[in-house]
């Protein structure tokens, strides 16, 4: 069974990202070995590596630990809120710590917010493509339809089917990656 990591990108003390992550984990748990990478717990400092990530030279223990966690994932789902139309700063920081580790990594985005996280997912897709990740798609969860602002999950079966379709796309991208290697 392949390894799927779910990145919880919100670090706010009162956040719904953990609730969305639980739903993703429960929906996809029978298909993957799942690890949750909670950026609030990982607590990376603001980018502090002396070398640019593109060099692949990492010296700080927290960077090396983050690298190991990303490397261990065969595919990644980013649970991503929309803050003022964009993704959270801690997520940008976490992505910027690494470079080659993202290349061809199958990734999907589960966005949430009043607009389903669509603008944030678009911006995040651009960033991930810049570091050469393979973004297979995104799913939007809407406040007051799929979840409450306090995190009560009410997604329809259709949303679960969309999530399973993203999972299949991640598997297909992973298979393509394996064949190309």
pLDDT given for residue 178 in this prediction: 83
Instruction: Say if strands 3-8 and 75-81 run parallel, antiparallel, or are unpaired.
Output: parallel
| pLDDT score for 179 | 86
Q: Are strands 3-8 and 134-142 parallel, antiparallel or unpaired?
A: unpaired
Number of domains in the chain: 1
d(CA 115, CA 175) in angstroms, rounded, equals 32
pLDDT for residue 85: 92
Q: Is this model's pTM higher than 0.95 or not?
A: yes
Q: Which domain holds residue 163?
A: 3-180
3-class DSSP assignment, residue 126: helix
Among the listed residues 39, 77, 91, 69, the one whose alpha carbon sits nearest the alpha carbon of residue 173:
77
Here the CATH number for the domain that contains residue 107 is 3.40.50.360
Task: Give the whole-angstrom CA distance, residue 44 versus residue 97.
Answer: 9
Residue appearing with tokens 């990656």? 177
Q: Give the residue ranges of the chain where pLDDT is below 50.
A: none
What local confidence, expressed as pLDDT, does residue 155 receive?
A: 95
């Amino acid at each position: 069974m392949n390894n799927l990591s779910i990145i919880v990108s919100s670090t706010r003390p009162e956040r719904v990202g953990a609730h969305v992550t639980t739903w993703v984990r429960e929906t996809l748990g029978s298909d993957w070995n799942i690890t949750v990478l909670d950026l609030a717990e990982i607590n990376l400092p603001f980018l502090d590596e002396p070398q640019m990530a593109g060099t692949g030279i990492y010296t700080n223990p927290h960077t090396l630990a983050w690298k190991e966690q990303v490397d261990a994932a065969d595919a990644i789902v980013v649970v991503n809120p929309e803050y003022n139309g964009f993704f959270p700063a801690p997520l940008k920081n976490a992505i910027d710590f690494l470079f080659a580790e993202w290349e061809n990594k199958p990734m999907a985005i589960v966005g949430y917010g009043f607009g389903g996280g669509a603008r944030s997912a678009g911006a995040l897709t651009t960033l991930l493509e810049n570091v050469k990740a393979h973004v297979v798609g995104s799913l939007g969860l809407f406040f007051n339809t799929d979840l409450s602002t306090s995190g009560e999950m009410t997604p329809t079966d259709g949303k679960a089917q969309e999530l399973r379709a993203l999972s299949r796309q991640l598997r297909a991208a992973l298979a393509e990656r394996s064949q190309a290697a």
